[in-house]
Amino acid sequence: MDKPTDEMFAEDLSLKGWINESLSNAISQVIDANLIRPEEPNLKTKVQCVSSIMELALNCSVELPEERICIKDVLSALKKIKLQFIANCRTV
């Protein structure tokens, strides 16, 4: 796997590894600044949604093909993320 060119990816840190580490504590550093802005309404809900999608993407790209999530399960997970997003936006 090719490594990103930023100096922070020295040694053994890959882009997938960085995203995986960032999911729990620094997801806002991974998300494109044009996608979610701090002043937006429902910011927490949007960050949760993007985080869930990124976690799903990581599950789709594990090293061994037999360990990857089934595409039917991916579709089901995406629909669930969408429904949670819509429900949470309505309650805020």
Helix H, strand E, coil C: the string for the chain is CCCCCCHHHCCCCCHHHHHHHHHHHCHHHHCCCCCCCCCCCCHHHHHHHHHHHHHHHHHHCCCCHHHCCCHHHHHHHHHHHHHHHHHHHHHC
53 is a domain residue? yes
4 is a domain residue? no
1 is a domain residue? no
Residue tagged 């595409």 (tokens):
71
Q: Please tell me the pTM assigned to this model.
A: 0.69
Q: How confident is the model at residue 48 (pLDDT cuts 50, 70, 90)?
A: confident
The number of folded domains in the chain is 1
DSSP 6: S
pLDDT of residue 2: 47
pLDDT at residue 69 above 60? yes
5 is a domain residue? no
**Which domain, by its residues, includes 83?**
10-91
